[in-house]
Amino acid sequence: MTGRIRHWIEEMSRRLRPFLVLRHLIHRRELVETGQRYRELGLRKPWFGLVRHAEVAGRGNGSARLDRPDGLEEMRELPGFAGLPEAVRRGLEAWPQDGYLVVEGLIDRQQVERVNADIDQLVEAGSIRAHHRAPRFMNVHQKSQAAAEIVSAPQVLELLELILGRQARLFQTISFVQGSQQEAHSDAFHMMTEPPGFLVGVWVALEDIDADSGPVFYLPGSHRLPYVMSEDLELADPPPLLTADKGIPYVNRMREMVGTAGGEPKRFTARAGDVLFWHHNLLHGGSAIERADSTRRSLVAHYFAKDVLCYHEVTERPALLSAS
Write the pLDDT tens digit of every residue in 233-280.
999 988 888 899 999 999 999 999 998 888 899 999 999 999 999 999
Q: Pick from 107, 77, 81: which is nearest to 202 by CA?
A: 107
Rounded percentage of the chain residues whose pLDDT exceeds 70: 95
Mean pLDDT of 54-70: 97
Q: How far apart are CA 316 and CA 52, in angstroms?
A: 5
Question: In which band, very low, low, confident or very high, does the pLDDT at 11 lie, cut at 50, 70 and 90?
Answer: low
Q: Which of 102-106, 189-193, 241-245 has the lowest mean pLDDT?
A: 241-245
Look at residue 128 in the predicted model and tell me its pLDDT: 87
If one compares 12 and 258, the residue with the highest pLDDT of the two is: 258
pLDDT of 165 over the 60 cut: yes
- SS3 annotation, 239-301: CCCECCCCHHHHHHHHHHHHHHHCCCCEECCCCCCCEEEEECCCCEEECCECCCCCCCCEEEE
323, part of any domain: no
137, part of any domain: yes
324, part of any domain: no
As beta bridge partners, residue 298 has: 176, 205
Q: Residue 14's domain is classified under what CATH number?
A: 2.60.120.620
pLDDT of 175 over the 70 cut: yes
**Chain segment 115-144, per-residue pLDDT in tens:** 999 999 999 999 988 876 667 899 999 999
pLDDT of 2 over the 60 cut: no
176, part of any domain: yes
**Where is 173: in which H helix or E strand?**
strand 168-176
Question: In which band, very low, low, confident or very high, does the pLDDT at 96 lie, cut at 50, 70 and 90?
Answer: very high
Rounded percentage of the chain residues whose pLDDT exceeds 90: 84
Helical segments of 57-194, H only: 71-76, 79-82, 86-98, 109-125, 145-151, 154-164, 187-190
For the chain, the C-alpha Rg in angstroms (whole number) is: 19
Q: How far apart are CA 152 and CA 219, in angstroms?
A: 27
Q: How far apart are CA 311 and CA 53, in angstroms?
A: 9
- Number of structural domains in the chain: 1
Look at residue 130 in the predicted model and tell me its pLDDT: 81
**Chain segment 271-313, per-residue pLDDT in tens:** 999 999 999 999 999 999 999 889 999 999 999 999 999 999 9
Q: 64 lies in which domain range?
A: 3-318
203, part of any domain: yes
77, part of any domain: yes
Would you call 201 helix, strand, or coil by DSSP?
strand
Would you call 304 helix, strand, or coil by DSSP?
strand
Mean pLDDT of 83-109: 98
Look at residue 4 in the predicted model and tell me its pLDDT: 60
Q: What average pLDDT does the chain have?
A: 93
